[in-house]
Amino acid sequence: MKSVFNELMSGLDDVESYLAGKTEGFRVRVPEEVHVKEIRNHLHMTQAKFSNTFGFSLDAVKHWEGGRRTPDPSARAYLTIIERCPEMVIKILSPSVPVIQVAHKKLTTDARKKFSKAFAKATKAKGAYVTP
């Protein structure tokens, strides 16, 4: 328990120093462990869809999930952002053409067709498309 308390106090000291202008910049903490398969499953995506959507190689995703490799700190930071707000990542990193991700909703085939037609009609001038 003491180590948790000491860690919290150290973190508060860092914040206090930063706010007082004694230190420049503020370092974020990147998680040591990220559960890639849980993130992907929560988004209802296959490994291929996940890697294509977020810009990872398919091999990297397979190796991370299989425990043969660990994501480096920058990948862990990116995966944490994907886990917390995937829609925002897709919106920010998608091409200028708007994309709507409906994979997380379990639409029936008829509902998906109706949605696709309505969306295509509403956004025809913008060249938008829907990914299943």
Domain locations in the chain as residue ranges: 1-28, 31-86, 94-132
Q: What is the pLDDT confidence band of residue 30, given thresholds at 50, 70 and 90?
A: confident
Pairwise CA distance, residues 79 & 46, whole Å: 16
Exposed, middle or buried, 102 (CB in 10 Å: 0-12/13-18/19+)? middle
Res 29 pLDDT > 70: yes
pLDDT digits (tens, 9 = 90+) for 34-69: 999 999 999 999 999 999 999 999 999 999 999 999
Q: Identify whether the C-beta of residue 106 lies closer than 8 Å to the C-beta of residue 76.
A: no
What's the pTM value of the predicted model, to 2 decimals?
A: 0.56
- Chain Cα centroid distance, residue 22: 33
Bridge partners, residue 130, by sequence: 100
Q: What is the mean pLDDT of the chain?
A: 77
Q: Identify whether the C-beta of residue 51 lies closer than 8 Å to the C-beta of residue 57.
A: yes
Class of domain 31-86: mainly alpha
